[in-house]
C-alpha cells in the first residue's frame, strides 16, 4: 500500500514504519498494560466459545449430526458482523469512548446471559441431562451470546489499532490468537474435565495417593457414588460472574480519542485507489449510511475481491475435520481425553503466536499462511487414518505399551493440528491488521474477518449435515 500527501491540511498523516524505525522503538510500561488488557478482552471472548465448543462432545450420543450442524451455526454472527460493524465506528458515547461504548454493554450482557442459563438448571435441561436434547433452544441461546461476542470482537479489533503504537500493531494478531485460545481452552478443558465422571474418579484416586504420601488418612468415596463435580449451569454461573467483574475493570481504562481524518489523503492499492477526498471519510460529514458506501468501495477493489474469493474457499478441503472428533468419540475414545490433552495445548497456544509473528515479519504473512495450509492438508489426511485406527483399537482391551503409544499419537496429532491452525489464523490476522485503516479499523478488520469466518462456517456445517446420509 502506498500513500500520497497534499501540502494542505493541519494534521500530519504518518506513513508505515520501516524496519529500521521499528527496531528503534521501545516498549513502555503503558504498552505492556495495553497488551495485557487486549489479552484479557480476548480471553473473555473465548470463554463462552469454549463452553459452546464443549457441548457437542457432551451430547454426541444423544443428538444426531444434523442437530449438531444446527449448533455449529451459532457462530453465524461472526460471519455476518460486517452488517453492523460500520455502526460501531460512528455511533458511540464520546465521554465513555468509541470502543468502550460497545465493549462494556456487550460483555456485561454476555455475563448476564450466562447467569440466566444457570437459573434452575436451564442449561442442564437443554443439553438433555435427564431427557432429549433441546437443540433449538440451545441454538437460540448461544446465537444471542455469539452476537454479543461478535460485536465485542469488532470493538476490540478496532481498539487494538488505536491502543497499540504503530510498531506494536502487528502484535494485535498475537493478542487475538493467544487470548482467545486461552479463554476457549480454560472453558473447554475445565468443563469437560469437571463434568466427566471418569475424570472425577481419577482425581479422587490421585488425591488419595497424595494424601498417602504425606501420611494423611483419606478414604475416597466409592466409584459408583462419584458424580461430576460441576454441571453446565454451575459452570456458566461461575464464568458469568467473572466476566461481569472483568467488565467493571475495563470501565476504568482510559480510551484515547481518534485523530481527525484528512480529506486530502489518498490511499493507493495495486489495482485501485480510495480517495479520502470523499465526504464519507471526512470526520464531520461521515454518517453510518455513508460508511457503508465506503465499505462497498473497498469491497469492489480488485485485490480485495481476490482475497475474498481465497478466504471463502480455502477451507473447503478441510471441512471433514469438524465432525472428525465426534467420529473418534463414536469409535470409543472417552470424551475427557480431549480435556486431558488441553494442558499440553495451552502453553503451546501461548508460546507459538509470538514465534509465528517472528516468521511473519521475516517471510511475510501470505508465505507463512500458504505453508500452514499445506501442513493442514497433511494433518487432515492423518486424522482420517486415525479415525479408522481408533475403531480397531477400541474393539478389545489393549496392553499398557499399546495404550501409551495410541494416546501419544492422539496427543501429538492434537498438538500438530493446533499449531497448524495457529499459523493460519495468526497469518490471517497479521495481514488484516497490516492493510486496515485505523480510522475505520473496526469496519476494515471486520470486512476481512467476515470473509474468513464465512469461509470456515459453511464447509463445517455442510460436513456435519453430510455425515448422517453418507454414514
Query: How far apart are the C-alpha atoms of 89 and 111, rounded to whole Å?
Result: 24
117 close to 185: Cβ distance less than 8 angstroms: no
Average pLDDT for runs of 10 along the chain of length 471:
35 41 64 87 94 89 83 87 80 84 94 94 85 88 95 88 76 80 88 79 73 71 71 94 93 67 42 46 56 79 83 84 83 80 79 85 84 91 91 85 90 90 85 71 72 85 79 60
Pick the CATH number of 2-12+27-195+230-470 from 3.20.20.70, 3.30.70.20, 1.10.287.3240, 1.20.1250.20: 1.20.1250.20
CA angle, 247 then 248 then 253, to 5°: 90
Q: How many CB atoms neighbour CB 258 within 10 A?
A: 17
Q: Please, which residues have CB within 8 angstroms of residue 111's CB and are 6 or more apart in sequence?
A: 239, 240, 241, 242, 243, 244, 247
Backbone dihedral angles phi then psi of residue 266, each to the nearest 5 degrees: -120, 125
Q: Shortest CA distance to 100 belongs to which of 152, 148, 39?
A: 152
CA angle, 198 then 200 then 205, to 5°: 100
Cell 474418579 maps to which residue?
Answer: 201
Q: Shortest CA distance to 381 belongs to which of 320, 459, 470?
A: 320
Query: How far apart are the C-alpha atoms of 189 and 201, rounded to whole Å?
Result: 17
Query: How far apart are the C-alpha atoms of 308 and 450, rounded to whole Å?
Result: 9
pLDDT at 28: 79
Query: How far apart are the C-alpha atoms of 370 and 372, rounded to whole Å?
Result: 5
As a dihedral over the C-alpha atoms of residue 465, residue 70, residue 313, residue 372, rounded to 10 degrees, the angle is -100
Residue 268 parent element (H or E) = strand 266-268
Query: How far apart are the C-alpha atoms of 8 and 12, rounded to whole Å?
Result: 10
Query: How far apart are the C-alpha atoms of 354 and 106, rounded to whole Å?
Result: 29
pLDDT at 12: 34
Cell numbers at 336, concatenated:
475427557
Cell 453492523 maps to which residue?
Answer: 84
Q: What is the DSSP letter of 121?
A: G
Cell numbers at 296, concatenated:
462497498
Q: What is the DSSP letter of 229?
A: S
User: Sheet of 273-275: strands edge to edge?
Assistant: 2-4, 266-268, 273-275
CA 153 to chain centroid, in Å, comes to 9
- Exposure b/e, 422-435, CB count within 10 A at least 16 = b: bbbbbbbbbbbbeb
Measured over the CA atoms of residue 337, residue 340, residue 344 and residue 346, the dihedral's sign is positive
pLDDT at 222: 67
pTM summary value? 0.75
pLDDT at 240: 96
**Quick one: the chain helix, strand, coil %, rounded to 5?**
75, 0, 25
pLDDT at 441: 61
Q: Shortest CA distance to 170 belongs to which of 11, 12, 25, 372?
A: 25
Amino acid at each position: 500500500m502506498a500513500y500520497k500527501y497534499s501540502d494542505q491540511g493541519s494534521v500530519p498523516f504518518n506513513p508505515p514504519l520501516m524496519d529500521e524505525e521499528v527496531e528503534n522503538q521501545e516498549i513502555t510500561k503503558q504498552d505492556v498494560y495495553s497488551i495485557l488488557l487486549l489479552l484479557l478482552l480476548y480471553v473473555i471472548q473465548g470463554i463462552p466459545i469454549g463452553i459452546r465448543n464443549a457441548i457437542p462432545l457432551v451430547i454426541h450420543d444423544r443428538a444426531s449430526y444434523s442437530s449438531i450442524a444446527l449448533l455449529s451455526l451459532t457462530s453465524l454472527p461472526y460471519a455476518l458482523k460486517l452488517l453492523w460493524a460500520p455502526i460501531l465506528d460512528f455511533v458511540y458515547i464520546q465521554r465513555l469512548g468509541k470502543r468502550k461504548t460497545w465493549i462494556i454493554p456487550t460483555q456485561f450482557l454476555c455475563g448476564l446471559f450466562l447467569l440466566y442459563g444457570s437459573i434452575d438448571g436451564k442449561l442442564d435441561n437443554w443439553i438433555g441431562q435427564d431427557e432429549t436434547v433441546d437443540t433449538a433452544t440451545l441454538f437460540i441461546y448461544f446465537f444471542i451470546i455469539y452476537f454479543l461476542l461478535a460485536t465485542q470482537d469488532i470493538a476490540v479489533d478496532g481498539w487494538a489499532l488505536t491502543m497499540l503504537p504503530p510498531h506494536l500493531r502487528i502484535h494485535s494478531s498475537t493478542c487475538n490468537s493467544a487470548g482467545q485460545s486461552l479463554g476457549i481452552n480454560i472453558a473447554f478443558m475445565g468443563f469437560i474435565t469437571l463434568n466427566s465422571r471418569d475424570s472425577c474418579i481419577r482425581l479422587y484416586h490421585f488425591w488419595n495417593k497424595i494424601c498417602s504420601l504425606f501420611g494423611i488418612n483419606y478414604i475416597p468415596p466409592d466409584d459408583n457414588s462419584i458424580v461430576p463435580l460441576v454441571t453446565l449451569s454451575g459452570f456458566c454461573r461461575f464464568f458469568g460472574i467473572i466476566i461481569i467483574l472483568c467488565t467493571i475493570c475495563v470501565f476504568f481504562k482510559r480510551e484515547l480519542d481518534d485523530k481527525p481524518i484528512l480529506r486530502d489523503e489518498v490511499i493507493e492499492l495495486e489495482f485501485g485507489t480510495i480517495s479520502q477526498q470523499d465526504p464519507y471519510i471526512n470526520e464531520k460529514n461521515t454518517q453510518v449510511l455513508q460508511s457503508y458506501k465506503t465499505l462497498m468501495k473497498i469491497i469492489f477493489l480488485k485485490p480485495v475481491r481476490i482475497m475474498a474469493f481465497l478466504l471463502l474457499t480455502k477451507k473447503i478441503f478441510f471441512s471433514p475435520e469438524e465432525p472428525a472428533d465426534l467420529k473418534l468419540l463414536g469409535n470409543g475414545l472417552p470424551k475427557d481425553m480431549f480435556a486431558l490433552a488441553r494442558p499440553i495445548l495451552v502453553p503451546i497456544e501461548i508460546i507459538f503466536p509470538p514465534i509465528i509473528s517472528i516468521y511473519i515479519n521475516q517471510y511475510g504473512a501470505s508465505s507463512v499462511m500458504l505453508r500452514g495450509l499445506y501442513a493442514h492438508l497433511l494433518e487432515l489426511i492423518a486424522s482420517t487414518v486415525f479415525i479408522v485406527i481408533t475403531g480397531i483399537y477400541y474393539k478389545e482391551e489393549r496392553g499398557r505399551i499399546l495404550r501409551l503409544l495410541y494416546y501419544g499419537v492422539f496427543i501429538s496429532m492434537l498438538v500438530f493440528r493446533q499449531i497448524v491452525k495457529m499459523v493460519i489464523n495468526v497469518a490471517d490476522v497479521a495481514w488484516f491488521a497490516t492493510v486496515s485503516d485505523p480510522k475505520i479499523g473496526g469496519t476494515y478488520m471486520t470486512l476481512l474477518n467476515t470473509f474468513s469466518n464465512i469461509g470456515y462456517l459453511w464447509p463445517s456445517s455442510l460436513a456435519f449435515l453430510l455425515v448422517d446420509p453418507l454414514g
